Structure 1
Amino acid sequence: MRTSDYTSAMINELQRTLELLSEESVEQLVERIARAQKVFVAGAGRSGLMMRAFAMRLMHMGFAVYVVGETVTPGLGPDDLLIIGSGSGETKSLAVMAAKAKGIGASLAAATTNPESTIGQISDVVIQVLASPKEASDQESFTIQPMGSLFEQSLLLVFDSIILRMMDRQELDGSAMFGRHANLE
């Protein structure tokens, strides 16, 4: 196959996956973000990178947003929201974090392939991303991509579409957000 054939296949997988998203779940997350005093994001590996990208865009919009694990991240409180990106919903460190957030009284949202997972079951909002988890065998998988690539790519697009939704609600455009862009580069 040529590179363009792989790209076309990946785009088709992404379109199929994203068309199956629950608009209701996405809107619930948008509402939780809007009401939160502070927003925290977490994820492991490549999913964590997608969560960081989402945090950056929320910051550009003016939200108080933090990446869990960074040295400048404050404590989580009951008026806050923790959003976890985890394909399996079973990553041990993230499951412990989710349980702790619920114990504090914060809201919890998850983006996962498995809403019945440990993290999914205790979340207030679950966005199910119908992508094969990285642990899927070749027979269980419906993607040509390795491991969790389809999930991770879908996370980026889901969260970017949430940013667009929120920009529309707040009547913001990219130029309004640029004022919060890093300027020490």
Structure 2
Amino acid sequence: MSAIRRVVDEVAGVLAEVDQDAFDRLVAELREPGRTWFCTGQGRSGLVARMAAMRLVHLGHRAHVVGEATAPSISAGDALLVLSASGTTAVSRHHAETARGVGAAVALVTTAGPSPLRSLADVTLDVPVSASVQFGGSLYEQAALLTLDAAVLAIDAGDLATREEMHRRHANLQ
């Protein structure tokens, strides 16, 4: 079996196991109007968080990447999107504790299992990754990205007017 086929099969297997109710709860949180989103994750999960922030901006939300120089402070009514496969990442846990402390919501995308971050989250989406032939957390990061892209698709529902607005919001200084 080719390496590409193995990756495709692994990702498809994980996505097929994502709980629809949990996915719908995350989508409902992401649809919440007037909320400013802060996105965080460490390592490659942080790269996925950055891509999620970009799509939230395209959808018309105010969104920031935690740690960027232009990110304001989080406050009550805002939300923090955390990506952490283990649910134990110390920096992400600190971000979630800070968000909860000021009255912001916390949404977590993680792998299955109890964790400190899960206990801080208002909504959790499990990306049920088990063994992988890929290095490190690659399968989690791939599946998390595609799951969040699917959430964007669920929000815009392929509506042409929404897509036109998304294109207008797309960065033009590239």
The CA distance in 2 between the partners of 1:118 and 1:86, in whole Å, is 11
Q: For residue 111 of structure 1, what is the aligned residue in structure 2?
A: 109
The CA distance in 1 between the partners of 2:28 and 2:67, in whole Å, is 25
The CA distance in 1 between the partners of 2:30 and 2:159, in whole Å, is 13
Alpha-carbon offset, residue 114 of structure 1: 3.7
Q: Does the 8 Å CA contact 1:42/1:94 hold for their aligned counterparts? A: yes
Alpha-carbon offset, residue 46 of structure 1: 0.5
Q: Does the 8 Å CA contact 1:89/1:114 hold for their aligned counterparts? A: no
Q: For residue 47 of structure 1, what is the aligned residue in structure 2?
A: 45
The CA distance in 2 between the partners of 1:170 and 1:92, in whole Å, is 39
User: 1:47-91 CA deviation, whole Å, 9 max, x = no partner?
Assistant: 100111111111111111111111111111111110100010111
Alpha-carbon offset, residue 176 of structure 1: 2.9
Question: Among 16, 20, 27, which residue is 1:19 paired with?
Answer: 16
The CA distance in 2 between the partners of 1:17 and 1:172, in whole Å, is 32
Q: Secondary structure at the match of 1:183?
A: coil
Question: Among 25, 36, 39, which residue is 1:38 paired with?
Answer: 36
The CA distance in 2 between the partners of 1:171 and 1:25, in whole Å, is 27
Q: Does the 8 Å CA contact 1:86/1:111 hold for their aligned counterparts? A: yes
How many residues in Structure 1 have an aligned counterpart in Structure 2? Answer: 173
Q: For residue 72 of structure 1, what is the aligned residue in structure 2?
A: 70
The RMSD of aligned alpha carbons is 1.6
Q: Secondary structure at the match of 1:179?
A: helix
Alpha-carbon offset, residue 174 of structure 1: 3.3
Question: Among 146, 157, 174, which residue is 2:146 paired with?
Answer: 157
Q: Does the 8 Å CA contact 1:115/1:121 hold for their aligned counterparts? A: no
The CA distance in 2 between the partners of 1:169 and 1:24, in whole Å, is 21
The CA distance in 1 between the partners of 2:161 and 2:146, in whole Å, is 19
Q: Does the 8 Å CA contact 1:110/1:119 hold for their aligned counterparts? A: yes
Superposition TM-score, scaled by structure 1 size: 0.88
Q: For residue 138 of structure 1, what is the aligned residue in structure 2?
A: none
Q: For residue 181 of structure 1, what is the aligned residue in structure 2?
A: 170
Alpha-carbon offset, residue 160 of structure 1: 0.3
Q: Which runs of 5+ in 1 are unaligned?
A: 133-141
Question: Among 119, 124, 138, which residue is 1:121 paired with?
Answer: 119
Superposition TM-score, scaled by structure 2 size: 0.93
- Which residue identity lines up with residue 68 of structure 1 in the other structure? V
Task: Percent identity, please.
Answer: 34
Q: Does the 8 Å CA contact 1:114/1:120 hold for their aligned counterparts? A: no
Q: Which runs of 5+ in 2 are unaligned?
A: none
Alpha carbons of structure 1 residues 22 and 172: separation in structure 2 relative to 1, 3 Å? farther
